[in-house]
Amino acid sequence: MGTYNIPRNLRGETRILVIFSVKSLITTAIGALLGFLFYFIFSLINLKTVGIIVMAIFALIGYAIGAFKIPTVAGLPFTKKIGGESIDEIIKRYVKFKMNRKIYTYTKEEK
């Protein structure tokens, strides 16, 4: 018998440095850049250690946004709708919703 490769959906699963996917590497870099601004501010007042810690925290938040998915928890009703989706996709949808928010008013015209 021969061996056969089973095709898989590899979209977004390419790994860099074992733990980073392309998306999580990009979001980690964005978080580190935001943290670098704080590092620069703290280094001006001679608190470089605090700046490095803040930069690491921002990088970890960026990694979490790019790598983790929301779990489906039976006890929490809102996770039934978004369970299994990436955090960055949820953030993108929220921003689109807030940007395209329109208020409709209806007036009843009498003749």
Alpha helices in the chain (DSSP H): 22-44, 48-67, 79-82, 87-99
User: Do 61 and 36 fall within a single domain?
Assistant: yes
7-26 pLDDT, tens digit each: 666 555 566 666 778 888 88
Within this chain, do residues 63 and 29 fall inside the same structural domain, yes or no?
yes
Question: Looking at the structure, do residues 45 and 58 belong to the same domain, yes or no?
Answer: yes
Residues 16 and 85: their CA atoms lie apart, in Å, by 21
* Domains of the chain: total: 2
Please say whether the beta carbons of 66 and 25 come within 8 A.
yes
Q: State the pLDDT confidence band at 1, using cuts at 50, 70 and 90.
A: low
| Range(s) of the domain holding residue 46 | 13-68
60 and 76 in a single domain? The answer is no
Statement to judge: residues 17 and 64 lie in one domain: yes
Whole-number pLDDT of residue 15: 64
Residue 110 lies in a domain: no
Phi, psi of 93 (to 5 degrees): -65, -40
CA pair distance 12, 29, nearest whole angstrom: 17
Residues 55 and 21 both lie in one domain = yes
Considering the domain architecture, whether residues 61 and 73 belong to the same structural domain is answered as no
Residue 106: pLDDT over 60? yes
For 78-106, what is the mean pLDDT? 80
What's the CA angle centered on 90, arms 84 and 93, to 5 degrees? 135
Record the tokens describing residue 10, joined without a space.
């590899």
- Confidence at residue 53, expressed as pLDDT on a 0 to 100 scale: 93
CB 74 within 8 A of CB 34: no
Position 49 in a domain: yes
* Dist CA 92 CA 85 (whole Å): 12
Q: Are residues 35 and 59 in the same domain?
A: yes
Asked whether residue 86 falls in the same domain as residue 49, the answer is no
Residue linked to tokens 């943290």? 35
Q: Say whether both 21 and 61 belong to one domain.
A: yes
